[in-house]
Chains A and B, each alone.
Chain A
Amino acid sequence: GAGVSQTPSNKVTEKGKYVELRCDPISGHTALYWYRQSLGQGPEFLIYFQGTGAADDSGLPNDRFFAVRPEGSVSTLKIQRTERGDSAVYLCASSLNEQKNSPLHFGNGTRLTVT
């Protein structure tokens, strides 16, 4: 079946620009997560949605980062006034429900490069 889909796969942008990263979760999965992975590091949690609402946004680094999931399916991660330090692979994951024993299923990520 279809897995988690992330677009674009690569994004190059100039410092100061605005970017949007899209995630299409596995059909029927109610929980959606965004992570960021820098080179040589493990994924770092950004935000978690249960349905349409952000249940935990404690990992967002600052107010330049924002995410939405208006219909409880597709999610968009938005970064304003991008900085070179934002360059990383942004991973989206979904799980069947919010139960903590449910594994996360990841997309292939969006590689963001800020020049």
Chain B
Amino acid sequence: AQSVAQPEDQVNVAEGNPLTVKCTYSVSGNPYLFWYVQYPNRGLQFLLKYITGDNLVKGSYGFEAEFNKSQTSFHLKKPSALVSDSALYFCAVRDQTGANNLFFGTGTRLTVIP
């Protein structure tokens, strides 16, 4: 079975400060991990993914995420937040040897305060 936990429903950060959105996962085998962003009344937009190799993954809009196998985490980060980063963020996981569907967390709402 696979699962994703996003422990924070809401994250507030001041513009210009670094941001972190947390994600932990559980899979039977090895994971493929993804981050998506959702703006109001829009579908989910792909940000970045971890497949294998370097634990630090860089993606769109200056976001990056760090895979930590021992802590089963894949936290999303950005060095300097923008007001336009305010949105709903979803972490998702696929088991490399399991079912094909992508399993999502419940989302974290990020608010960047001017």
Other-chain residue from B41, B96, B106, B107 in contact with A100 (beta carbon distance below 8 A): B96
Q: Can you name the residue of chain A whose Cβ is closest to the Cβ of B91? A: A42
Q: Complex: how many Å from CA A31 to CA B42?
A: 21
Bound together, the chains give a CA A59 to CA B99 distance in angstroms of 11
Interface size class of A (residues with CB under 8 A): 20 to 34
A25 at interface, CB cutoff 8 A: no
Which residues of B are found within 8 Å of A43, using beta-carbon distances? 44, 90, 104
With contacts A100-B94, A100-B96 taken as known, whether A106 is within 8 angstroms of B45 at the C-beta atoms is yes
Q: Contacting B103 at CB < 8 Å: which of A31, A40, A45, A55?
A: A45
Contact flags A95-111 to B (C-beta < 8 A → 1, else 0): 00010110111111100
By size class, the interface of chain B is 20 to 34
Known contacts: A45-B101, A56-B101, A59-B101. The answer to whether A108 contacts B42 by CB under 8 A is: yes
Interface string of A1-29 (1 = CB under 8 A from B): 00010100000000000000000000000
B93 to chain A, nearest CB (A): 10
Q: How far is the CA of A59 from the CA of B101 in the complex (A)?
A: 9
- Is there a chain B Cβ closer than 8 Å to A41's Cβ? yes
Instruction: Report whether A100 and B43 are in contact in the complex, using a CB–CB cutoff of 8 Å.
Output: no
Contact of B32 among A58, A59, A101, A108 (CB under 8 A): A101
| Chain A residue contacts of B105, Cβ below 8 A | 42
Residues of B within 8 A of A (CB): 4, 32, 34, 36, 41-46, 49, 51, 90, 92, 94, 96, 99-107
The 7 lowest CB-CB distance pairs between A and B, nearest first, are: A42-B104, A106-B43, A45-B101, A106-B44, A103-B46, A108-B43, A101-B51
